[in-house]
Amino acid sequence: MRMPDEIEIDRPDDWHLHLRDGAAMTDIVHLSARQFARAIIMPNLTSPVVTTEQAIEYRARILAALPPDSDFTPLMTLYLTDRTTPEEISRAHSSGAIAACKLYPAGATTNSDSGVTDIARLSPVLEAMQRADLPLLVHGEVTDPEVDIFDREQRFIEARLQPMVAEFPGLRIVFEHVTTAEAVDFVREGPDTLAATVTAHHLLFNRNAILAGGIRPHYYCLPVLKRERHRQTLLKAATSGHPRFFLGTDSAPHSLGDKQTACGCAGVFSAHAALECYAQAFEEAGELDRLEGFASHHGADFYRLPRNARKVRLRRESWQVPAQYPFGDGRLVPLGAGESMRWRLID
Ligand code: NCD
Ligand code: ZN
């Protein structure tokens, strides 16, 4: 079958994005704004975004950092802690400024030290979110140091997520950046209130990318890349047309110095070529015509937001990913640095 040389899809959104803050944010936010109409902005700043007021201030800093002609809309989230109150959820809801709340199990990933230590004690907050119809976004990994890092997502499902879904049947939950066949099955068999985001790097790479033939820190992220069997299952789910799987890049910039060191940070930066990477994965699966649903429709529908007007075009045209981008005081190594891409987003 002949593949098209150009595709046009409704403007997509990124349902999981890390923008950081300050000069570093200013250096990268335009890359996401070029690709996406809206994005769910993760609240794990060095000092996390825990109140509605802080989220509104953060949103103002993002808007101020955008190129003047940009209409990019940041959708703000709150970071849940042991001290989050149902009152804060009411404030978030009535402000109209908060799109969702993020649950990081304490210690699960970058800047998650203030995260939740005991999910059972979060019940009054989750109840308030269910009442306010505010979606819960979950980093789904257990943090028990005894549990093998490749099993942490799978263990989270039985130990934490399954009980949460059962206890709060009206709460919309997004299982963020799913990486395993077990997570895909759980979402597929779950209720309509349960959805998942899938990153481009988990669709394109398995764990050999980090470890085979040398250690490659720029492929290290959390949840960590898994074996090929899991990548194949993710690819099948993302390209199946199932409405509860949608695009979330989890683009997570760290400076070169923070990545290439004895104890490097977790995070893959993909905002510079996000749609191109997804297009490559969908093409590899022979399902390019399913890209639009995954990238532009399913997320908006789940969040109950209008689908975007306008279109974007991708052309089959090779271009070279820069080796680095400026990033505040440092530099940033993007996914596929120096390599050539098959698809190009046309401005
Ligand atoms: C994210 C980050 O750097 O903020 N890192 C990552 O590896 N994905 C945090 C997260 O989403 O886990
Ligand atoms: Zn993330």
Nearest CA, atom 5, ligand 1: 267
Q: Could you tell me the pLDDT band of residue 207, with boundaries at 50, 70 and 90?
A: very high
Q: Could you tell me the pLDDT band of residue 33, with boundaries at 50, 70 and 90?
A: very high
Q: Are strands 14-17 and 340-346 parallel, antiparallel or unpaired?
A: unpaired
Q: Could you tell me the pLDDT band of residue 134, with boundaries at 50, 70 and 90?
A: very high
In this predicted structure, the answer to whether residue 5 has a pLDDT above a threshold of 70 is yes
Catalytic residue among 27, 250, 301, 329: 250
Q: Could you tell me the pLDDT band of residue 4, with boundaries at 50, 70 and 90?
A: confident
In this predicted structure, the answer to whether residue 80 has a pLDDT above a threshold of 80 is yes
CB atoms within 10 A of CB 257: 12
Query: What number of residues does the chain have?
Result: 347
Tell me how far the alpha carbon of residue 222 lies from the centroid of ligand 1, in angstroms.
6
The pick from 221, 224, 259, 270 for probing ligand 1's pocket by mutation, whose C-beta has the most ligand atoms within 8 angstroms, reads 221
Atom number in ligand 1 closest to CA 44: 4
234-290 pLDDT, tens per residue? Answer: 999 999 999 999 999 999 999 999 999 999 999 999 999 999 999 999 999 999 999
Distance in angstroms between the alpha carbons of the first and the last residue of the chain: 28
Return the pLDDT at 347.
Answer: 85
Taking residues 282-299, report their average pLDDT.
98
In this predicted structure, the answer to whether residue 208 has a pLDDT above a threshold of 80 is yes
175-191 pLDDT, tens per residue? Answer: 999 999 999 999 999 99
pLDDT, the chain, mean:
97
Question: What global pTM score does this model have?
Answer: 0.98
Query: 346 - beta bridge partners?
Result: 313
Beta strand extents in 155-204 (DSSP E only): 173-175, 194-198
In this predicted structure, the answer to whether residue 1 has a pLDDT above a threshold of 70 is no
